[in-house]
Amino acid sequence: MSESVDCLVQVMDQLRSPGGCPWDAEQTHESLARYLLEETYEALEAMDTGNVSELREELGDLLLQVVFHARIAQEQESDFTLDSIAQGVVDKLVRRHPHVFDGANFETNEELEANWAAVKLQEKQRESVTDGVPLAMPALQLATQLIYRARKIDVAAANGQLKEQLRGVVGDVTSDSISDLLVAAVELAREKDLDPESLLRSAMTDFRQEVRAAEGL
């Protein structure tokens, strides 16, 4: 590791050790979970604004969360270190990029994607294309991931007739037209005092069951 990263690990060790900071010492994975989520959103906001200095700070806060969680885990399992986390990422990247590190040759991006999916399936031993999609993520992101995964087994989420009607209304599918459509859907929901986040999450929970049923699970 670099000198700065080593220093960060040492500072966290001192904070968690006897004589360190009482607040840091009492934290757990569960108590820190909300901070990890908050820091992620703050980093995304910095990306949106294009403020590089702010992004550097927010990525630093995310790194702090990784180091914090690694230190807590290390107290339970001595070989759980930041180095072991990094090595796991290195091994994963090498396995999933045989065309870069192992001389494999793929003719198209589709072949590349298919190989990536096959390696992930073998690694995770997953039985469904929906496995690994956290139901706790924001509903729109959840829908995006589940719909993308379901396409691999030809299961559609939307009502086909309604989708084509909307296509006729929207015209050209662009970022602006989709943004307008999403905003309009939220406004319609609020007019009836409905929570669009909850509605979409419920629909995606049902869709996930439909996908698993189609897989015979």
Is position 89 within any domain?
no
- 129 band by pLDDT with thresholds 50, 70 and 90: confident
Mean pLDDT to the nearest integer, 12-34: 96
The count of structural domains within the chain is 3
Q: Are 157 and 146 within 8 A, CB to CB? A: yes
Specify if 57 maps to a domain: yes
Res. 1: pLDDT tops 70:
no
**Calpha distance 190→182 (Å, rounded):** 12
E strands present in 8-75: none
Half-sphere exposure of 32 (CA within 13 A, CB side): 20
Nearest Cα to Cα of residue 60 among 43, 77, 74: 43
Query: Residue 52 has which token pair?
Result: 């590089």
**Taking the complete model, does pTM exceed 0.85, yes or no?**
no
Q: What is d(CA 182, CA 173) in angstroms, rounded to the nearest whole number? A: 12
Q: Which domain holds residue 209?
A: 139-214
92 lies in a domain? no
Give the Cα separation of 141 and 63 in Å (integer).
23
CATH assignment of the domain containing 30: 1.10.287.1080
pLDDT digits (tens, 9 = 90+) for 175-187: 999 999 999 999 9
Whole-number pLDDT of residue 180:
93
Residue 74: both structure tokens together: 């290390």
Whose CA is closest to 131, among 212, 192, 198? 212
Domain assignment present for residue 203? The answer is yes
């004589």: which residue's tokens?
19
